Structure 1
Amino acid sequence: MLDLVFLWHMHQPDYRDHQATAEGSRFVLPWVYLHAIKDYSDMAAHLERHPGIHAVINFVPVLLEQIEDYVEQFDSGNFRDPLLRLLARPSLEPLDHTSRDYLLQACFRSNHLTMLAPFPRYQRLHDVYRELARHGGSAMAYLSDSYFADLVTWYHLAWTGESERRNRPLIAELMSKGEGYTFAERQSLLALIGEILRGIIPRYRALAERGQIELSTTPQTHPLAPLLLDFNVAHDSLPEVALPLMPNYPGGRSRVDAQLDVARRSHIQRFGAAPAGMWPAEGAISPAYVEQLAAHGCRWIASGEGVLRASLHASGLAQPGAEQEPESARAPYHPWQLGGAPGLTLFFRDERLSDMIGFEYAKWHGQDAARHFVDTLERILAATPPGERAVVSIIMDGENAWEHYPYNAYYFFEDLYGLLESHARIRTTTYSALLDRADAPVATLPRLLTGSWVFGTLSTWIGDADKNHAWDLLCAAKQSYDLVLASGRLDAQQCAAATAQLAICESSDWFWWFGDYNPAPTVAVFDQLFRRNLSNLYQLLQLPPPAQLAKPISRGLHESADPAGDDTRSASGAMRRAQDAATS
């Protein structure tokens, strides 16, 4: 028998500018609600259609907070997301130049092959834009207000999940009409979006309550906790990597404790029970962090296969380049424990199969992809020695891959989950269910090396000059935070607001995007938001923001900034392979 664990990780960073305004926080990017109506909804629907499939679903608290923020916007009618505000606007006539430019920038952001080209009327809007763009910016004045009404409507239709399209007649009706959308029709679409958003958290809670899924969490805002604890751990996997000028993040251990405590409270509040396990942000772990997780009562965590390989080499249990040896090849297929973290079990991601889902199967026919996946599992099972029970972990982003699949991966999941439900020797399960079994095989890992699921290192978040500069800016802000809070000049409410803002600044996502290998337009947005978050923190501390926060940190890779080009999220850096494509 082979035990298969799917861990679908649901995460978006905080896209809000929390500077106090009369309306409240303003959303800078719309990815939370767009992924909610497409991916979080579809992933729940796949499980609801296949009750024999079990999985682990990991929700980061900052994502859940934003979903609830959107629900409140729909309940109040006060939309603080500019894209929703324009969809909800009674009339798009006249539309000011800023709003017109914004819609043209925003409403072609998708994988055009799967989310634009299949819809001729939406494709026509794109073709018109491209033709006018050839004649310069002034040609855009010829676009009518009805063009923009159709554009904002089609963009939201294209971002609906395939399961929603099959269950919601309104979506089919609007797609069939194709153009000339009225305010009443846009109102109906807006109401449907609100309904889908309201159902996201309750649907996953219901799946957990009936025992089909296990819900896990990540520290509050998805921080790179090993680096908060100690910058020097980056040298474990990359001895020559450059570090920030600051020796360490001030008070990192207490900040990790706080992030873990908030995550636990968030989980209990939203799902009615404490989480048993955790996907550390980016699967990034270090010995000190694992011990801290164990002290917080964490029962299991998961990380990348590259971390396990490096740790086995460091422990003398395998040699570099020995991944093809039988013992090394089987190493990811059973749980591990670390001596300094009693009660905590580690699982490691199967890089090849996880990356096949993330990057390759989208190019295959759904049945062929599902059959190949199951065939690979059967080969792992056949190679398992008698008396052992293989545990295969598929751990990956639960949202960004699916827009690269036809029909948002609907047929892939139908075929895959269908094959697995009927398989006699492969059983989908959860990590807690595995640990509850008396026969769960656990090996001891003598030494753990610090790393993440990406390349087995922390290089995605530290070492580059831009990333290190961002860490120095964050460290300086944290020093100011510590001094102001110690002075007693802020009241309890002001301290809480500053602490919440600090947590946002600690997210790993800002450091992910810095560097010259990500596209410049995307880097610019995240760069600006990170610096704005730091500025907001200084203002909450009643201090003037440093002048250097007015200067961009990173420029990114300068290619085409054309939003109507054939953009894909994977090409723009939202997803990454566990290894370089040349070596994976």
Structure 2
Amino acid sequence: MSHHPSTLDLVILWHMHQPDYRDSETKEFTLPWVYLHAIKDYTDMAHHLEMHPSIRLVVNFVPVLLDQLEDYCQQFAKATIRDPLLRLLATPDLDQISPEDRALIFKSCFLSNHETMLKPYPAYQALRNIYNEMEAQGDKEMVYASGQYLADLLMWYHLAWTGESIRRSNKNVIELMSKGKQFSFEDRISLFNLFGELIGNLIPRYRKLAESGQIELSTTPHYHPLAPLLIDFNSARDNLPDAALPATTCYPGGRGRVEFHVKSAVASHSKRFGIKPAGVWPAEGAISDAFVHILVENGTQWIASGQGVLANSLQKSYPNQPILDNGTYLYQPYRFDTGNDGTLCFFRDDQLSDLIGFEYAKWFGRDAAQNFIDRLELIRHMTHETTSPVVSVILDGENAWESYPYNGYYFLNDLYELLEQHSEIHTTTFQSYINKQQKDKTFIKPLPTLCAGSWVYGNFSTWVGGHDKNAAWDLLCAAKHTYDLVMQSQRLTKKEKEAANRQLASCESSDWFWWFGDYNSPAAVESFDQLFRKNLINLYKLLKIPAPANVFESISHGGTVSGESGAMRRTT
């Protein structure tokens, strides 16, 4: 008699993150990505969940993103906008703006996926054609672009970045899109006010979804640091024994810094959502033995990481067992030997996660959703002898949708619909899965040896090892050394010390190191290079110490743009 496959648990985790774009000196936002993703992706993602109330999944918010969303809420409430692009949208007379502001509009308002966010709108495409003609005639033509042209360009950029769920339901947005040109100041203010409402509602919407039990909210150490490297650069050699490390042998006091990011994340999550987070998606899924111990000490009940980390750890833990012949090893939780039986680790299915991140955008929504279900069916048959099999699909919840038609509206709608109707695939959260297994954890396999790594290639090569990345680490190590000396002295007040601590935390984000290297576009590398160094310069200012000369020199220039550049990277 053949064994009939049982149900399969599926946990989808959408990871929401943007680094801190605020200049601590001027308080201005240097890039608009937080509010743009808020009006487009965070809004649409909440909508799809509200439309499919029986879908269960995990949403991971990095605290530094929530800090910035709340900052935008305060800007709208006080009517003092510190984001230059958003401020221009609400500026009455665009004929009178500075040359710098004009340049900012031109530089910003074509930054998107043109196939999905510009070409579908003839009026927006017409503005692009005019721009191309002006550019062909030399920069001086830009000076003569009328205030009306700038108004229309600002409006179309922001309409293209408005969530599909809003564009289908909001009468004002529908009217603006059909108007198409000659937008008035009143038109711009109406869109601006709508953005204020959308951003103001975001955190409450997700909190409500969590309180109803539909989603679990998880967290990441506060400013998204690559924790294993902060603790010990040598962790990079767990997987790549020949990795080149920064000249400084270790990041000074790194363990204490990681503890700060973890404790701060738990506190900020508890304050916003009224409950401690049960789980942590570490920045970049990057874990090491020392880091896992810190998470466990801080009450983390589950951790998630990448498939490559599991494969490498299993090979080290069970060298004589050919574990990789059969893929089922991935579809179960594991326990680390931390002296705490309560903490479980789940590992993402790279293939399924990358299909959503990179491939399905090219398919019809329904076909892509059905393909995803078909693959889950195969896993369900493959794991029929596994106790309580669970599939973890973990990916960026904000950057993928730009390459989908209609911001992924049809794909997500169809995917959630098919999952809701499926009797053998059960969407759940990590917390619910653990609660369900509370009585019997005997099937959970121990992982005696953890091989440090991340969700990209199972190693840390995206953040350390290259010349430019290591140079950036050396600048950060030098700044941290200065920070430690100043913090021990009596030079700063308590308030000044807190400001310096926050500024250091922003410098410790993994995002800066991600962008350094010749596989990213020069424009993106330049902006993140400047941001990182500006963060360091501001740190020295807060410490009341002159910044060393090398902080004023660019670190990286980028190179040829390949398919691997950008805010997301394939893991396989």
TM over 0.5: yes
CA apart distance, 1:430: 0.3
Correspondent of 2:46 among 40, 44, 47? 44
Cα deviation, residue 96, structure 1: 2.7
Matched with 2:3 is: none
**Farther-moved stretch of structure 1 (453-462 vs 129-138):** 129-138
Aligned pairs for 1:135-284 (under 5 A) are 135-284=137-286
| Equivalent-residue separation in structure 2 for 1:68 and 1:189 (angstroms) | 19
Whichever residue aligns with residue 578 of structure 1, its letter is T
Summarize the alignment of residues 310-321 of structure 1 with structure 2, pairs less than 5 Å apart: 310-316=312-318
1:161 alignment partner AA: G
1:3 pairs, out of 5, 9, 31, with 9
The Cα offsets for residues 262-286 of structure 1, whole Å up to 9 and x where unpaired, read as 1011001111110000000000000
AA matched with 1:349: R
Matching residue of 2:4: none
The secondary structure found in structure 2 opposite 1:93 is: helix
Q: Which amino acid aligns with 1:16?
A: R
Q: Confirm whether residue 474 of structure 1 aligns to residue 476 of structure 2.
A: yes
Aligned to 1:565: none
Secondary structure of 1:6 counterpart: strand
1:92 maps to a residue whose letter is: L
Superposed counterparts of 1:436-451, under 5 Å: 436-438=435-437, 439=440, 441-451=443-453
For the 8 Å contact 1:523–1:555, the answer to whether it is kept is yes
Report matched runs for 1:34-433 at 5 Å. Answer: 34-316=36-318, 323=324, 325-326=325-326, 329-342=327-340, 343-386=342-385, 388-433=387-432
Amino acid in the other structure paired with 2:392: S
Check the 8 A contact 2:346/2:392 in 1, yes or no.
yes
CA distance in 2, matches of 1:171, 1:319: 59
CA-to-aligned-CA distance 1:394-422 (integer Å, 9 cap, x gap): 00000000011010001001111000001
Q: Deviations over 1:130-189 (max 9, x none)?
A: 122122112223421100000001111000011111221111110000001111111100
Does the 8 A contact of 2:360 with 2:368 survive in 1?
Answer: yes
Q: Distance in 2 between matches of 1:446 and 1:255?
A: 26
The separation in 2 between residues aligned to 1:394 and 1:558, in whole angstroms, is 31
Residues 319 and 387 of structure 1: CA distance in aligned 2, closer, same or farther (over 3 Å) = closer
Distance 1:385 1:192 in 2: 50
- Measure the CA separation in 2 of the matches of 1:446 and 1:478: 34
Whole-Å separation in 1 of the counterparts to 2:38 and 2:141:
35
Whether the 8 Å contact between 2:124 and 2:153 is mirrored in structure 1 is: yes
Give the conservation status (yes or no) of the 8 Å contact 1:290–1:341: no
2-structure distance, mates of 1:404, 1:513: 20
1:525 equivalent in structure 2:
527
Partner of 2:514: 512
CA deviation string 1:54-113 (max 9, x = no partner)? 010000000000001111111111111000111110111223322211101000000000
Separation in structure 2 between the aligned mates of residue 11 and residue 385 of structure 1, nearest angstrom: 36
Indicate conservation of the 8 Å contact 2:24/2:538, yes or no: yes
SS at match of 2:96: coil
2:366 touches 2:414 (CA, 8 Å); kept in 1? yes
CA distance in 2, matches of 1:198, 1:541: 34
Check whether the contact 2:454–2:460 (CA below 8 A) recurs between aligned residues.
Answer: yes
Inter-partner Cα distance in structure 1 for 2:448 and 2:257 = 28
State the distance in 1 between where 2:465 and 2:99 align: 41
TM-score by length of 1: 0.94
- Conserved 8 A contact 1:291-1:341: no
Could you tell me which amino acid in structure 2 is paired with residue 336 of structure 1?
A: Y
The answer to whether the Cα contact below 8 Å between 1:5 and 1:394 also exists between their aligned partners in 2 is yes
Partner of 1:564: none
Q: Contact 1:312 / 1:318 at 8 angstroms: preserved in 2? A: no
- Matches of 1:79 and 1:319, distance apart in 2: 59
Secondary structure at the residue paired with 2:134? helix
The answer on whether the counterparts of 2:519 and 2:565 sit within 8 Å (CA) in structure 1 is no
Q: Confirm or deny that 1:574 pairs with 2:547.
A: no
- Alpha-carbon distance in 1 for matches of 2:453, 2:401: 27
Tell whether the 8 Å contact from 1:307 to 1:449 is kept in structure 2 after alignment: yes
2-structure distance, mates of 1:558, 1:451? 27
Structure 2 counterpart of 1:338, which letter? F
Contact 1:515 1:554 in 2 (8 A): yes
Supply the AA of the counterpart residue of 2:527: V
Q: Distance in 2 between matches of 1:558 and 1:291?
A: 40
Q: Which runs of 5+ in 1 are unaligned?
A: 560-567, 580-584
2:94–2:150 contact (8 Å) kept in structure 1: yes
1:452 maps to amino acid: S
Gaps of 5+ in 2: 1-6
Aligned equivalents of 1:341 and 1:552: distance in 2? 45
Does 2:18 correspond to 1:12?
A: yes
CA deviation after TM superposition for structure 1 residue 389, in Å? 2.5
CA distance in 2, matches of 1:475, 1:181: 50
Indicate the residue corresponding to 1:562 in structure 2: none
Letter in structure 2 aligned against 1:384: T
In the alignment, the residues of structure 1 paired with residue 217 and residue 521 of structure 2 have an alpha-carbon distance, to the nearest angstrom, of 34
| Alignment TM-score, normalising by the size of structure 2 | 0.96
Q: State the distance in 1 between where 2:557 and 2:428 align.
A: 44
User: For 1:388 and 1:251, how far apart are their aligned partners in 2?
Assistant: 42
The residue aligned with 1:553 is 555
Q: How many residues align?
A: 562
- Aligned to 2:95, the other structure's residue is in SS state coil
CA–CA distance in structure 2, aligned partners of residues 396 and 452 of structure 1: 13
Aligned to 1:563: none
Alpha-carbon distance in 2 for matches of 1:472, 1:387: 47
Deviations 1:235-264 (A, max 9, x none): 001100100011100001111111111101
For residues 364-399 of structure 1, the C-alpha deviation after alignment (integer angstroms, 9 at most, x for no partner) is 011110110000000000111336232000000000
Worse overlay, 407-416 or 377-386: 377-386
Closer, same or farther: CA 257–387 of 1 in aligned 2, 3 Å = closer
Separation in 1, partners of 2:559, 2:234: 28
Identity of paired residues, percent? 57
The SS at the match of 2:15 is strand
Query: Helix, strand or coil: the match of 1:57?
Result: strand
Single out whichever of 350-359 and 159-168 deviates more from structure 2.
159-168
Out of 480, 484, 487, the position equivalent to 2:486 is 484
Whether contact under 8 Å (1:501, 1:533) holds in the other structure is yes
Residue type matched to 2:567 in 1?
A
**Cα separation, 2, equivalents of 1:257 and 1:536:** 23
Q: Distance in 2 between matches of 1:78 and 1:572?
A: 35
Q: SS at 2:390's partner residue? A: strand
* Residue identity in the other structure for 2:252: P
AA matched with 1:132: M
- Give the Å deviation of 1:558: 5.1
Secondary structure of the 1:17 match is: coil
> Are the equivalent residues in 2 in contact too, given 1:10–1:397 (CA < 8 A)?
yes
Report how far residue 340 of structure 1 moved. 2.0
Write the distance in 2 (CA, Å) between the matches of 1:288 and 1:97: 51
